[in-house]
Structure 1
Amino acid sequence: MPARLPSLYFRIRDTGASVFRIDTEHRHQRLEMEHLANINMAKGDYRTQGERTATPEEDAAIRDWIATRRQTLDMRARDDVMRLIDALNLTTQWAHGRATDADLDLVTDPLLMAMHDLRATLVRKMADRLDPGED
């Protein structure tokens, strides 16, 4: 017995997702996808397309998807930072042992600027956390 399809399909985009309503009740058992809404992850909301409206169940499903997607993106961002720490350690080892003078000439200035920017941001954020009354 085939699995039941979900009533909504979420197509990921750079800024969020497009939401499609799935309709399997057509002749010839075709799968129809009606563009229902666009999700804006930066704002955490969605807008329906044209004259379409979301049912209360669809609204709840879209809001659940937004919350789940935000958790996924947050988890990936933390994982990216942990990978960056690994990359910095490997870069240090590379610069210490294998990099040529030409290699170092190519990467030193951009790497130092990125590291300075990161350090300044981390120090400022740490100071804000230690003394939240100073805004």
Structure 2
Amino acid sequence: MSELPEFYFRVRENGAAVYRVDTQNRQRRIEMNEIAVVNIKNGRVKPHGDHVLTPEETRVIAEWMAEREALLARRDLDDIHRTIDHLNLTAQWAQSRADDAALEDVTDRLLMAMHDLRSVLVRKKADRLMKGDKG
């Protein structure tokens, strides 16, 4: 069996619960002692109970947070690329396979979502272009 990591991060909605893994006990059982809760959105690290984080624990948590934020950013961008593919597939479906009832079911919601997206993208593009003119 491979060696277990010293720390385990149980991912939660906005971060993780951080555990120190202990196998050095008499029963040779794996024990996980919660040492902190991490909130990725606001960057807070809250020690669990009376636990005082060591410099090593603080370093490991900071490294995990940086890696997690990078992973989530990559996933967001990957989701957007998938959305582009889905929009293309949706256009093909609407043109070649959709019947009137299916189109009636989705047209208004798709048009509103696309209008909203277009408005945001055009505004953001204009903002970037204005920044470029000033720089």
Coarse TM-score class (shorter-chain normalised): over 0.9
In structure 2, the partner of 1:54 is 53
Q: Tell me the CA shift for residue 99 of structure 1.
A: 0.4
In structure 2, the partner of 1:106 is 105
SS of structure 1 residue aligned to 2:65: helix
Tell me the C-alpha RMSD between the 2 structures.
1.4
Q: Tell me the CA shift for residue 3 of structure 1.
A: 2.6
In structure 2, how many angstroms separate the alpha carbons of the residues matched to 1:23 and 1:41?
Answer: 25
The one-letter amino acid paired with 2:55 is P
Q: Tell me the CA shift for residue 106 of structure 1.
A: 0.5
In structure 1, the partner of 2:31 is 32
In structure 1, how many angstroms separate the alpha carbons of the residues matched to 2:38 and 2:116?
Answer: 32
TM-score, normalisation: structure 1: 0.93
The one-letter amino acid paired with 1:130 is L
TM-score, normalisation: structure 2: 0.93
In structure 1, how many angstroms separate the alpha carbons of the residues matched to 2:3 and 2:43?
Answer: 28
In structure 2, how many angstroms separate the alpha carbons of the residues matched to 1:101 and 1:14?
Answer: 40
In structure 1, how many angstroms separate the alpha carbons of the residues matched to 2:91 and 2:18?
Answer: 45
Q: Tell me the CA shift for residue 127 of structure 1.
A: 1.2
What do the CA deviations read for 1:92-132 (whole angstroms, capped 9, x no partner)? 00000100110011001111111111111111111111113
In structure 2, how many angstroms separate the alpha carbons of the residues matched to 1:44 and 1:98?
Answer: 48
In structure 1, how many angstroms separate the alpha carbons of the residues matched to 2:121 and 2:43?
Answer: 26
SS of structure 1 residue aligned to 2:27: helix
In structure 1, the partner of 2:3 is 4
In structure 2, the partner of 1:119 is 118
In structure 1, list runs of 5 or more residues that go unmatched: none
In structure 2, list runs of 5 or more residues that go unmatched: none
In structure 1, the partner of 2:130 is 131
In structure 1, the partner of 2:44 is 45
- Percent identical across equivalent pairs? 50
What do the CA deviations read for 1:58-116 (whole angstroms, capped 9, x no partner)? 11010000000111111011100000000000000000010011001100111111111
User: How many residues are treated as equivalent by the alignment?
Assistant: 133
User: Which portions of structure 1, spanning 4 or more consecutive aligned residues, are displaced by more than 3 angstroms?
Assistant: none
In structure 1, how many angstroms separate the alpha carbons of the residues matched to 2:84 and 2:76?
Answer: 13
